[in-house]
Structure 1
């Protein structure tokens, strides 16, 4: 059973970093490390109540036997635990992040679970290439909004994936003012409140993430939702869950 006093103290520390401390640094990596270094140990408990649908996204993806899974913006590596026992079927899983403090937590998690096929790596999500040269699965779990060149990250995921490979993304977002048919439409209040609210912590919600993903990949599933934010009882932040597939050559031929 969790200790309520410990939870409140941990939350207070995290909220101080979110609301008061501004990330400093000349590079994206420096800003990430400056922001997360003081809260890395408290990261998981608070984010579980804020970052919704992560486990569902991970568990929606079939684990490829002998495959390679690259988690871009992996943080503390909790997504690896969400895979569960099937993680042993992978030949390799790479946990990629630019924050060394978060990756230290990821390495502790790897050691605690005894995973010999999971490796945390400090690297840019737009440039990392596994030693195998390609991946069967690429995931972004609330990380795309924190990557300045998010379009390069998506393009890079496309290049990493083998034909037929799967991409999974879950993240905050706002809709376009005039979204395409079958997309959710957010009102003025949603579109104007959440973008600056998150941007203060260098989390940049975009109306273009989903259209770009749907244009790039074959859609397997898409769900647009809202979730609770700790200590903000009457508001719900919008997020989406996208599962896509890189077409095989035969898919491309059929479409042509």
Structure 2
């Protein structure tokens, strides 16, 4: 009897996770169905630090690099051009955004080096999706602030980093050195797009780094507008 109860509980949890992922996909698709056509042209003005993250990736030849929340594929294309000896993978919950990503990758002629797939950040199983269980580099670029269960997404990402590999993040910071009125207006505007800066990200990363015996560095460029983190897993 206990076994059947446990099985039902596991099925209920799986159904609940599946429903949350479906809800997130539907919400993201509604948001980006039209926005995706203008996304790259507009976001370059305020998604600061993305190219610095790409430069810091520095994968070795043959390394596998995963972007969680790849959106239109902009970062994947830029990173694949910058690091031509690495292999790149990207997932996004929005099928609308993945349509744009596939188009961008094809235009760049990088279909042989970049693979993308639809997946939820919290339940991602890259072995099933790509046939790759671990990656030497995993990164989030302005996506943790949009993922409702960002703790779950962060933990899942850390579980996908190969020994000696790195998790890298760039996202909105606390804006602690911006004028108060600017910070308030910025956060109100971000909320319109379901974006919530993760003010406790460093605290969460520090706890995970201590538990994993990993090395953590955090920077807050642009007067705290952004936060950039790198967590290196012991080899």
- Normalising by the residue count of structure 1, what TM-score does the alignment of the two structures yield? 0.72
* Contact map agreement 1:174 1:190 (CA 8 A) in 2: no
Contact 1:141 1:170 in 2 (8 A): yes
Query: In the alignment, is the contact (CA less than 8 A) between 1:58 and 1:168 conserved in 2?
Result: no
Residue equivalent to 1:202: 194
5 Å-filtered alignment, 1:132-143, equals: 132-143=132-143
CA shift, 1:164, in A, is 1.3
Question: CA–CA distance in 1 between the matches of 2:135 and 2:40?
Answer: 26
C-alpha contact (below 8 Å) 1:135/1:160 kept by paired residues: yes
Match of 1:240 in 2: 227
Look up the match of 2:71.
75
User: Which 5+ residue runs of structure 2 have no aligned equivalent?
Assistant: 1-21
Partner of residue 152, structure 2: 152
Question: Are residues 1:46 and 2:38 paired?
Answer: no
Higher helix share: 2
Q: Is the 8 A contact 2:146 2:196 kept in 1?
A: yes
Show the 5 A alignment for 1:109-120.
Answer: 109-115=104-110, 116-120=112-116
Question: How many equivalent pairs are there?
Answer: 206
Offset of residue 109 of structure 1: 1.5
Q: What CA distance in whole angstroms lies between the structure 1 residues aligned with 2:152 and 2:215? A: 19
Distance 1:244 1:78 in 2: 23
**1:166: Cα distance to partner?**
0.8
The correspondence for 1:34, drawn from 30, 40, 47, is 30
Distance 1:35 1:204 in 2: 16
Relative to structure 1, the CA distance from residue 100 to residue 158 in structure 2 (aligned partners, 3 Å threshold; closer, same or farther) is same
Q: Which residue of 1 aligns with 2:162?
A: 162
SS for the counterpart of 2:88 is strand
> What's the CA shift for 1:206?
2.3
For 2:179 and 2:206, how far apart are their aligned partners in 1?
22
Report the aligned-residue RMSD. 2.4
Contact 1:63 / 1:86 at 8 angstroms: preserved in 2? no
SS at match of 2:103: helix
Partner of 2:11: none
Residue 247 of structure 1 and its aligned partner are, at CA, apart by 2.3
Deviations 1:6-65 (A, max 9, x none): xxxxxxxxxxxxxxxxxxxx8111111100011111110101111011011111111122
Q: Distance in 2 between matches of 1:27 and 1:150?
A: 16
Cα distance per residue 1:127-162 (max 9 Å; x no partner): 223221111111100000000000111101111011
Which residue of the partner structure matches residue 124 of structure 1?
Answer: 120
Please give the secondary structure, in 2, of the residue aligned with 1:41.
coil
The structure-2 alpha-carbon separation of the partners of 1:246 and 1:101, relative to structure 1 and needing over 3 Å to count, comes to: same
Tell me the TM-score normalized by structure 2.
0.78
1:84 to 1:119, Cα distance in 2 relative to 1, 3 A = closer
